[in-house]
Amino acid sequence: MKVLLALALLGLGGLLGLGIAGLWPRPEPQDPEPVARAWGVANAVAAVVLGVRLWDTLFEVLVYVVAMVGVRFFLGGLRWRGELPPVAETPLLRRAADLLLGPILVFALYLAASGHLGPGGGFPAGALLGSALLLLALAKGVERLSQELYEPRLESLEYLAVALLLFLGAVVLIFLVRAPAAFIAANLLIALEVAIGAWAVLHRFASARGEV
């Protein structure tokens, strides 16, 4: 075991050294500015993710949704039998959740809405929203938050977001729409979908106590 660990560490260190030494050939960087300009946005990454490579992103979202559905399907029937160990209420967490929840939500919305202008976009915004829900779950307890969020309605909201996203993608791909409005809408939908998906997975894992 120790030998294996040492070998793994050595390998990792070697990879790191190779990367730093620049021994691997790097692809010739293309100038991203013309791409961004062609799609009418300021952030070249957004132009690539939601423009040039929209197909990739749509399939990525689909993979994510399939994973969520799989988690719901397979962990849904796995309810923890008996009483869950009580989660202690700590005033520190309650207070931290009170203070941080608002700023996190606003920042997540900002990230999603400004993804076409600067760093950001739907995926980090969704992860941030998911973190906000997790913070609430830590402070309140998972089951209570799940009841307050109306879980089934949340689930249909997620599927609705995915359907809208696919529709939007189809419109962009078929009619070659190149407008910032499409980027904003796509980022917001992705954020919604990622946040709800993260919450669903977490809730399932937590209520099955992570045991499969």
Name the site residues for another protein (rule: CB under 8 A): 9, 12-13, 16, 20, 43, 45, 82, 84-85, 87-88, 111, 118-121, 123-125, 127-128, 130-131, 134-135, 137-138, 142, 198, 202, 205-206, 209-210
Minimal distance in Å, beta carbon 120 to another protein? 6
Q: Considering the complex, state which of residue 168 and residue 203 has its C-beta at the smaller distance from another protein.
A: 203
Instruction: Locate 14 and state its tokens.
Output: 């070697």
Nearer residue to another protein within complex by CB, 3 or 176: 3
Beta carbon of residue 77, minimum distance to another protein (angstroms, whole number) = 19
Least CB distance from residue 194 to another protein, whole Å? 9
When the beta carbons of 35 and 87 are compared against another protein, the nearer one is: 87
Measured CA distances, 154 to 143, 157, 166, 210 (Å): 15, 5, 19, 22
Burial of 72 by CB count in 10 Å (0-12 exposed, 13-18 middle, 19+ buried)?
middle
Nearer to another protein, 45 or 157 (CB): 45
d(CA 17, CA 23): 9
Q: Measured from the CB of residue 167, what is the shortest distance to another protein in angstroms? A: 25
Q: Please give, one letter per residue, the 3-state secondary structure of 158-195.
A: HHHHHHHHHHHHHHHHHHCCCCHHHHHHHHHHHHHHHH
Give least dist CB 151 to another protein, A. Answer: 17
Measured between alpha carbons, how far is 187 from 198 in angstroms, rounded to an integer? 16
